[in-house]
Structure 1
Amino acid sequence: MSGAQRRNLVIVTLLALVAALALVFALTRGDGDSDGKGAGTASTRAPVASTIGTGGPTTGAATPPGRTAHPAARPDWVPTGMRTVSAAALPAEARETLRLIAAGGPFPYARDGIVFGNRERLLPAEPTGHYREYTVPTPGSADRGARRIVAGEDAERYYSDDHYASFAAVLP
């Protein structure tokens, strides 16, 4: 085998390895959706059992117009594969932030209520302005800390305790 043939073989092998790693990443990133739409798009929403928290049945809970709640406890706005947490299981500071959101404020931080851009694409794709972010105070933190509630226009709520690296859908 000539040097050029060896080099071409190495290049092809490396490209195949990169493609395989990309596929593995796509399959393990969220819900196994590898069609390029990303986790949490409308085409990947489906009711499945909760992995965290026990939000209980959504019967009687406020369901946004145009959406239906799954009777087994998981609203259809929760992206497939996203963990859930009941509001009661959140830290006290997060429950207080949820109360302030429901009351329309007043909020303790100037940046509370600003548009959340969803640049991480971990939440379902929605038009700009659909999501707003709110600080969940972290006791002992010298700044706003990493905890946030992201609220959607359709009453959906998401909790992040790692500054948007991950989310849990908040169930009532």
Structure 2
Amino acid sequence: MKFAPIRLLVLGAALLSACHPSDGKTTTQPQTRPPAQTRQQPQTDPQSGLRWMSVTELPAEGQKVYVLIGKGGPFRYSKDGVTFGNRERILPAQSRGYYREYTVKTPSESDRGPRRIICGGQPVTSRADCYYTADHYTSFRRIRP
């Protein structure tokens, strides 16, 4: 059995040549690889327990406000950037002054409307810990940084 590996090699070559056209040329078939495993990102933020959303899922007005937060303004409403108290206790508990709120204009509303982006952290232009509410603090989704 000393020559078994060579016999297998010869047998394999014979089988390969039987599968190829009979023009005497050997061609190499491309190896098909299984699709790469894509890392599934979690649907909820482990810190807050809230569902994630991307910036592109924000309404167009929210995307503009999100960019302005990173630049430090200018903001449309005088209350933008004020402390958000988190009285609803839906967002993770933080010390007073950690969260700030920004208005996302609702086109059909004549006032500020119910939509807000809430961001926490320092500096005030940080967007690493932001949340969106479309229903005036009744529910939130975490914005993926």
Identical aligned residues as a percent: 50
TM-score (norm 2): 0.65
Secondary structure, counterpart of 2:61 in structure 1:
helix
Residue aligning to 1:161: 134
- Answering whether residue 48 of structure 2 is matched by residue 79 of structure 1, we say yes
CA distance in 2, matches of 1:86, 1:158: 10
Deviation by residue 1:11-34 (Cα, 9 ceiling, x = unmatched)? xxxxxxxxxxxxxxxxxxxxxxxx
2:67 to 55, 75, 99: 99
Counterparts of 2:42 and 2:80, CA distance in 1 = 32
* Whole-angstrom CA distance in 2 between matches of 1:49 and 1:150: 21
Task: Within 5 Å, give how 1:8-157 maps onto structure 2.
Answer: 49-50=42-43, 78-80=47-49, 82-153=50-121, 155-157=128-130
Question: Normalising to structure 1: TM-score of the pair?
Answer: 0.55
**Partner in structure 2 of residue 10 of structure 1:** none
Superposition CA RMSD, Å? 1.5
- Cα distance between partner residues in 2 of 1:94 and 1:50: 21
What displacement does 1:97 show?
Answer: 0.5
Q: Deviations over 1:113-167 (max 9, x none)?
A: 0000000000000000000000000012111000000000152000000000000
Regions of 4+ moved over 4 Å: none
Q: Distance in 1 between matches of 2:61 and 2:55?
A: 11
Decide which structure has greater helix share.
Answer: 1
Partners of 1:171 and 1:86 in 2: how far apart? 5
Secondary structure in 1 matching 2:68: helix
The count of aligned residue pairs is 100
- Any stretches of 5+ residues in structure 1 without a counterpart? 1-47, 52-73
